[in-house]
Structure 1
Amino acid sequence: MKSNVTVTVLLLAFLISRATAQEPVTDTLMLKGVEIASEKISRKELTSFPLQSLSATQIASVAGNSVADALKTFSGVTLRDYGGAGGLKTVMVRSLGAQHTGVFIDGAPVSDIASGQPDLGKFPLGNLEEVSLNVGVGGSEPMPARARSGASVINLRSIKPDFGKFKTRGNAGIRGGSFGLINPFLRLDHKTGTGSWFGIEINPLFSKGDYPYLVDNGPAGSARLKRGNGDLTSLAANLSFSAKAGDSSEVRVFARFSNAERGLPGAVVFYNPHSSQRLTNKDLSLGFQLMSDSKRTSLLTNACWSYAWLRYLDPDYLGYDHSLDNRYLQQEFHLSQAGTFNISRHFSASLASDFILNTFSGSQYNTDPWRGSFLLSAILAHQTRNTGAEAGFLASVIKDSGKDPSEEALTHKVSPYFSLSVRIADVPSLRLRMMYKHSFRMPAFNEMYYALVGNPGLLPEAAQQLNTGLLGSYAPFKGVLFRLSADAFFNRVHEKIVAIPTQNLFVWSMQNIGEVRTRGLDIQLDASAALGRRGKASVNLAYTYQEASDISDKNSSDYGNQIPYIPWETFSAMFQLVHRSFSIDYNLLFNGYRYVSSENIPQNLLPSWWISDAGLAWSPEAGRYKYRIKAGVTNLFDKDYVVIRSFPMPGRGFVISGAFNF
């Protein structure tokens, strides 16, 4: 945009100078407008670290209703899904554990300090403008130091209302489908003044989760059974208030509440599909944000409080003469100040400091552990048209207080980071990039303090990431655009936390003994073409190859083997065809074969699988009102497959939804 304005100004100056050089005329000189058009450069093309994102249009084509369904279309992502709407869903990025990936909504953190693995199935997609995944978490924009502490970050950006000449905008609708799915939703935004507005969002969801699945009993034949204990009843409600504070500042206050009661579908083993475990979550988050942006300085202030209550009930727990009923409460206080400062035309600096206090209590404890963290990040960035470079560090000071004073521990780490990008061609646009990052994660509270398994002496996991990539874009014809990125990556994890059986299969010991080396390749290709004035076709492809080897012990028979549940290959494809108010979507997902343990033998092999989803949508407009009706089919060809051994996934399902924007 800046280059377009500059060219236009120069052109007008030239015309004026030519006109004034002539003899004066009495007639008015009318200049015909000049329009200069060019393809906007994608943010993903300019970054020196791997960045993937889905726009609102692409989110609408995702088969599913949760953030987990969107993330599985990204390269390098391995989804752990236990099946159905009630099954827990977490992701691993480039074979690093789910605890290495942070989750942020509009710049505010979403934490689960008990397990370190937020359930991504509980975040709906309906009112999101963008879902992005940053590997390495670079960039000079202001963000909390906590966001730079992980190996990768999931960023969710909400849709901001466009009021126009109206004071109230909103949307309402309902989704329904197979396996007892009912999901009404409502969002209202009301303009309260010049530059201020109030929003409310309500999203209840009901699902029986009773999908059929196939059990192969070997010589005894196969049987078609129905999944049990996979039901889910949940309610998510969000309140937000946003107001302009001067010409360049904005204040935002939010409250998020979610309540979910679900069955945990059990493993189908030994011809016994019975499961009775229940999980109840009650989460509340309150937050305050202050954002200011001037010519030389951008600031972001975050103050958040989170309350999370969890109950795990197992009526049939072996070894107990009564039900296992564990209840946990965690609270978090997070205060952050971040800023970006433009030092000169090409140099900028980013600083951020966070203070985080986590408290944790359980029904089986007499005293409660807590954790206090102070994080400081600093990055110096240099950017020109042809080159970009960043270098910085994260300093962490963390104090843990365990179940008694003797378990107090102080941890301090300094983690460096740097990246570099170089433009090597203009047409087609080509850039080389490289990134190195060191990061670590503290053991989660469940790894340290849960009954029977906890080890308060666990050391942090340390991860090293190295990435080298090529980015390119090319527009051979008007309305046609290709974007390509290819990244080779290398990860190494030290002091990996693993669970080792001791007395029996129900008593485990958490220990630091593992070391994992990962080598891989990510390839992404996006292509789009305009079809006349009101049509468009787009294709998004993502492929990952990764070799995640256990190199803990050279004398072990498992040395060099692939670690559990990491496939060698994954592939996803999203196809979308839009003409006027109609759109057709087709999504394809492939997961290669993998092993369920470090012992890579045929008995531990899980086969690869392909699944397809398709959808047809109609989105007419009538003035300020917009409608959207969509019918979709998930697992189009009714494939029988598993993501986790003995946890069968749903077969073919049908979903229909209707939404009304006003």
Structure 2
Amino acid sequence: MKQWEWAGWGACLVQLGTLPCAMAQADVFTLGEITITAPGDQAELAGSSVLTQQALREQNQDTVGTALNLAAGVHSAYAGARGEQVFYVRGFDRLQVPVYIDGIPTYVPYDGRIDLGHFTTYDLSRIEVAKGFSSLIYGPNALGGAINLITRRPTRAFEGEVGGGIGLSDDGGLDNHRVHANLGGKHESWWFQAGVSRLKTESFELPSGFRPTNVQQGEGQRENSRHKDDKLSLKLALTPNAGDEYVFGYVRQQGEKGQPTYAGELPLSGSGSGSRRRWWEWPQWDKTSYYFSSSTELGEHVIRTRLYHDVFENTLVGYDYANGVVGGVSSGFPSRYDDDSTGLSLEGDFALGSRNLLRVAYHFKDDVHRSSDDGTPWTHFKDRTQALSFEDTLTLADGLTLVGGVSYNQRKSLSTRNYGTNAGSPSTPSLYDEPGGDDSAVNYQLGLFRQVGAGGQVRLSFASRSRFATMMERYSTRFGTVIPNPDLKAERARHYELGYSGPLAGGWLLDAAVFRSDVRDSIQNVTIAQQGDCTSSACEQPQNVARARHVGLELGLQGEVGPIEVMGNYTWLRRKNLSAPDVRPTDTPRHKLFASVGWSHGPWKLTGNVEAASQRYSSSNGQQVAHGFAVYGFKAGYTLGSGMQIEAGVRNLFDRLYAYSEGYPMAGRNYFVNINVPF
């Protein structure tokens, strides 16, 4: 069966999300989408990558962090010193590309270090990746794009699924297991959707080519690699008529994990080696979200509302660790966060005519951070962020659409209660107020979209975007080595893109884009003279001094060769630090490829895939390099007449020793068995 079809303004590659999806996917919670659409037919304009739930299952992507690697222009990465699954969109990191659940921001208010390894995919209908030219309706801080995790919506009166699986090491040992269930029902004036899942990893086995170090003691199980995540999601909706919808939602995530130790070639002592001597554990990484979403039609106009309260509770414990021996709790631990975000967004779609659609949005958000280290008094920081956005979509002629937008963003510091020593109490730690610091930024963009042929589309766009500095960037002292800078200004980026989405000869579909991003006022630590609260001999301070340029090419292709389905994407990315050419951009390879082939025969389906990448730097001084690799996978699946699916497969087929971050090797050859029962 083909995984694509033609629909309106372009092609839809729903398998690997390499092309924009203009066709309606029935189980998508559409109220959670934020897209740029053409007036009249409401067709989605090209530019974003879409990963459907079917694609996630086909490629066995259990977490959002690994799933994003399926999209062109996106690099999955690994923050080794914290054991976190992170990502880069055309070279922009998780601070610069916010993550949303059904259009509602979800993140860590203090430092922005969201770990997508805790976000399971079982209750999602799709993942949308918007790049440089993304809708201004997303709100502030979308410097490099946005990632929207869109949940399910039922299509029948009663439906659901239960599933699960196990993971086995190369020697047959049980490494992990997963279970999930989704249940929903759609009725005349209401619907409900519920999902529950557990993903648990005891440890994983290293490739046979790995050799023990003085930290990673054995050749087998990876030290401190345990991971567990439980998730519950609920939605209850009222639909009094065909045009109105009111949804109450709840999401509870409970996570815990260890941070695998450094197992590279660099020494464990000396300058900058602190992160290589860590034994850290997170017994708590919990997020709870309450939200309300609504859509109300007023004639030809639509008003949307989103209200939310998001709570983040985190506990980090560091232990003394040397020569493979774990000691007691280190000084300064445990470290606890108790953060929350409360906000709303009001959106209006106003039809100014059959060829003109004006969208207006207002965003309001209060972010609160509280922390305590080793039982010290709780700090308290609070930011208020507001944004007003205008986005106009105008049909200039049949098949020719112009999109323009402008927004004004503002951030204010409402509370800055820190703990430590300062000029008022140079010897005795106490609570004190840091200086406040406010900021504002104007964003604007312009895009031209031209329909060509039967379903093709050419796009040309420009966008100027911003990101406000986090609380951590402005106020953290990094244990007395950094001087706070509350007056940090917003980072800026200008994006240019030329792309095409549509058909080629022989029924093949192509998405191609060339892009360039010029970054200025980027935040970078600068060495300065010792002063203030800094107790280090080499003090640093974050300042808006860095400039960079990202240039790249994306290609996505999908089609058929006889009975074989072929799909994949390639990304070429070149990042350059213009303000300091010797400082290496980290975590993004120059070349990345993901490809998959599938062959179906009756109830059987065989699937193979490959992920390949060139080398990438893991440290800005170039001392740490994660070498290039190619990793292969294979699986066989069987679908019974009842719809039940059974599959088994292997990851890292050739037991390749590889890493996304130097010193943090990934799993060797491992096997999995899955079962899924829809009803």
Which category of TM-score, normalised to the shorter sequence, fits these structures? 0.7 to 0.9
Q: Structure 1 CA distance, aligned partners of 2:657 and 2:230?
A: 30
Once the 2 structures are TM-superposed, how far is the Cα of residue 551 of structure 1 from its aligned partner?
A: 0.9
Judge conservation of contact 1:446–1:454 (CA < 8 Å) in 2: no
Judge conservation of contact 1:616–1:631 (CA < 8 Å) in 2: yes
Judge conservation of contact 2:195–2:234 (CA < 8 Å) in 1: yes
Once the 2 structures are TM-superposed, how far is the Cα of residue 657 of structure 1 from its aligned partner?
A: 0.9
- Give the equivalent residue in structure 1 for 2:669: 652
Judge conservation of contact 2:318–2:330 (CA < 8 Å) in 1: no
> Aligned residue pairs: how many?
594
Q: Structure 2 CA distance, aligned partners of 1:320 and 1:660?
A: 45
Question: Judging changes above 3 Å, is the alpha-carbon distance between structure 1 residues 358 and 526 closer, same or farther for their aligned structure 2 residues?
Answer: same
Which secondary structure does the structure 2 equivalent of 1:230 belong to?
coil
Which secondary structure does the structure 2 equivalent of 1:446 belong to?
helix
The more displaced of 493-502 and 305-314 is 493-502
Q: Deviations over 1:585-635 (max 9, x none)?
A: 2221111112233445xx54432111112222222233xxx3111212111
**2:8 corresponds to 1:42:** no
Q: Structure 1 CA distance, aligned partners of 2:159 and 2:510?
A: 38
Q: Structure 1 CA distance, aligned partners of 2:319 and 2:218?
A: 27
Which secondary structure does the structure 1 equivalent of 2:653 belong to?
coil
| 1:513 aligned residue (526, 545, 570) | 545
Q: Structure 2 CA distance, aligned partners of 1:434 and 1:420?
A: 5
Judge conservation of contact 2:577–2:585 (CA < 8 Å) in 1: yes
- Give the equivalent residue in structure 2 for 1:154: 147
Q: Structure 2 CA distance, aligned partners of 1:185 and 1:593?
A: 36
Judge conservation of contact 2:66–2:85 (CA < 8 Å) in 1: no
Once the 2 structures are TM-superposed, how far is the Cα of residue 430 of structure 1 from its aligned partner?
A: 4.3
| 2:302 aligned residue (290, 298, 301) | 298
| 1:434 aligned residue (434, 438, 460) | 460
Q: Deviations over 1:348-391 (max 9, x none)?
A: 11110011000111114654111001111101111343211111
Which secondary structure does the structure 2 equivalent of 1:160 belong to?
coil
The more displaced of 311-320 and 537-546 is 311-320
Question: Judging changes above 3 Å, is the alpha-carbon distance between structure 1 residues 232 and 48 closer, same or farther for their aligned structure 2 residues?
Answer: same
Judge conservation of contact 1:47–1:139 (CA < 8 Å) in 2: no
Q: Structure 1 CA distance, aligned partners of 2:541 and 2:521?
A: 15
Code of the residue aligned with 1:196 in structure 2: it is: W
Once the 2 structures are TM-superposed, how far is the Cα of residue 409 of structure 1 from its aligned partner?
A: 1.8
- Give the equivalent residue in structure 1 for 2:648: 631
Which secondary structure does the structure 1 equivalent of 2:65 belong to?
helix
Instruction: Please report the RMSD computed on the Cα atoms of aligned residues, expressed in angstroms.
Output: 3.0
The more displaced of 455-464 and 567-576 is 455-464
Q: Deviations over 1:212-268 (max 9, x none)?
A: 2444589xxx98343111101221111111120223101111110011111111212
Which secondary structure does the structure 2 equivalent of 1:354 belong to?
strand
Judge conservation of contact 2:624–2:662 (CA < 8 Å) in 1: no
**2:37 corresponds to 1:68:** no
Q: Structure 1 CA distance, aligned partners of 2:449 and 2:300?
A: 23
| 1:339 aligned residue (348, 351, 367) | 348
Code of the residue aligned with 1:486 in structure 2: it is: A
Q: Structure 2 CA distance, aligned partners of 1:644 and 1:432?
A: 37
The more displaced of 633-642 and 446-455 is 446-455
| 2:577 aligned residue (532, 550, 575) | 550
Code of the residue aligned with 2:317 in structure 1: it is: L
The more displaced of 330-339 and 49-58 is 49-58
Judge conservation of contact 2:190–2:240 (CA < 8 Å) in 1: no
Code of the residue aligned with 1:413 in structure 2: it is: A
| 1:455 aligned residue (484, 490, 504) | 484
| 2:386 aligned residue (374, 382, 393) | 374
Question: Judging changes above 3 Å, is the alpha-carbon distance between structure 1 residues 138 and 658 closer, same or farther for their aligned structure 2 residues?
Answer: same
The more displaced of 349-358 and 459-468 is 459-468
Question: Judging changes above 3 Å, is the alpha-carbon distance between structure 1 residues 197 and 265 closer, same or farther for their aligned structure 2 residues?
Answer: same
The more displaced of 291-300 and 603-612 is 291-300
- Give the equivalent residue in structure 2 for 1:197: 191
Judge conservation of contact 1:63–1:587 (CA < 8 Å) in 2: no
Q: Structure 2 CA distance, aligned partners of 1:337 and 1:321?
A: 46
Question: Judging changes above 3 Å, is the alpha-carbon distance between structure 1 residues 265 and 604 closer, same or farther for their aligned structure 2 residues?
Answer: closer
Which secondary structure does the structure 2 equivalent of 1:324 belong to?
coil
Q: Structure 2 CA distance, aligned partners of 1:253 and 1:530?
A: 47
Q: Structure 1 CA distance, aligned partners of 2:357 and 2:620?
A: 46
Q: How does 1:115-514 map to 2 (within 5 A)?
A: 115-138=111-134, 143-146=137-140, 149-163=142-156, 167-178=157-168, 180-190=175-185, 193-213=187-207, 214-215=209-210, 224-269=219-264, 276-279=279-282, 280-293=284-297, 296-316=300-320, 322=331, 324-364=333-373, 367-383=379-395, 384-401=397-414, 402-403=416-417, 407-423=435-451, 425-426=452-453, 430-450=456-476, 451-452=478-479, 453=482, 455-457=484-486, 458-474=488-504, 476=506, 481-499=507-525, 509-514=541-546
Judge conservation of contact 2:456–2:502 (CA < 8 Å) in 1: yes
Q: Structure 2 CA distance, aligned partners of 1:406 and 1:628?
A: 58
Q: Deviations over 1:503-525 (max 9, x none)?
A: 76998643333211111111111
Question: Judging changes above 3 Å, is the alpha-carbon distance between structure 1 residues 42 and 49 closer, same or farther for their aligned structure 2 residues?
Answer: closer
Q: Structure 2 CA distance, aligned partners of 1:83 and 1:183?
A: 24
| 2:55 aligned residue (55, 58, 75) | 58
Q: Deviations over 1:381-404 (max 9, x none)?
A: 113432111111111111024235
Question: Judging changes above 3 Å, is the alpha-carbon distance between structure 1 residues 657 and 461 closer, same or farther for their aligned structure 2 residues?
Answer: same
Judge conservation of contact 1:83–1:648 (CA < 8 Å) in 2: no
**2:557 corresponds to 1:525:** yes
Question: Judging changes above 3 Å, is the alpha-carbon distance between structure 1 residues 587 and 114 closer, same or farther for their aligned structure 2 residues?
Answer: farther
Judge conservation of contact 2:349–2:360 (CA < 8 Å) in 1: yes
Question: Judging changes above 3 Å, is the alpha-carbon distance between structure 1 residues 366 and 253 closer, same or farther for their aligned structure 2 residues?
Answer: closer
* Consecutive unaligned residues in structure 2, runs of 5 or more: 13-19, 23-42, 170-174, 269-275, 323-327, 418-431, 529-534
Superposed structure 1 runs of 4+ greater than 6 Å apart: 271-274, 317-321, 501-507
Which secondary structure does the structure 1 equivalent of 2:597 belong to?
strand
Code of the residue aligned with 1:173 in structure 2: it is: G
**2:597 corresponds to 1:575:** yes
Judge conservation of contact 2:165–2:179 (CA < 8 Å) in 1: yes
Judge conservation of contact 1:144–1:353 (CA < 8 Å) in 2: no
Question: Judging changes above 3 Å, is the alpha-carbon distance between structure 1 residues 338 and 229 closer, same or farther for their aligned structure 2 residues?
Answer: same
- Give the equivalent residue in structure 2 for 1:4: none
Judge conservation of contact 2:440–2:490 (CA < 8 Å) in 1: no
Once the 2 structures are TM-superposed, how far is the Cα of residue 169 of structure 1 from its aligned partner?
A: 2.2
Once the 2 structures are TM-superposed, how far is the Cα of residue 83 of structure 1 from its aligned partner?
A: 7.6
The more displaced of 572-581 and 627-636 is 572-581
Once the 2 structures are TM-superposed, how far is the Cα of residue 464 of structure 1 from its aligned partner?
A: 1.4
Identity, % of aligned positions: 19
Q: Deviations over 1:507-545 (max 9, x none)?
A: 8643333211111111111224785xxxxx432221111
- Give the equivalent residue in structure 2 for 1:566: 588
Once the 2 structures are TM-superposed, how far is the Cα of residue 82 of structure 1 from its aligned partner?
A: 5.2
The more displaced of 498-507 and 591-600 is 498-507
Once the 2 structures are TM-superposed, how far is the Cα of residue 203 of structure 1 from its aligned partner?
A: 0.8
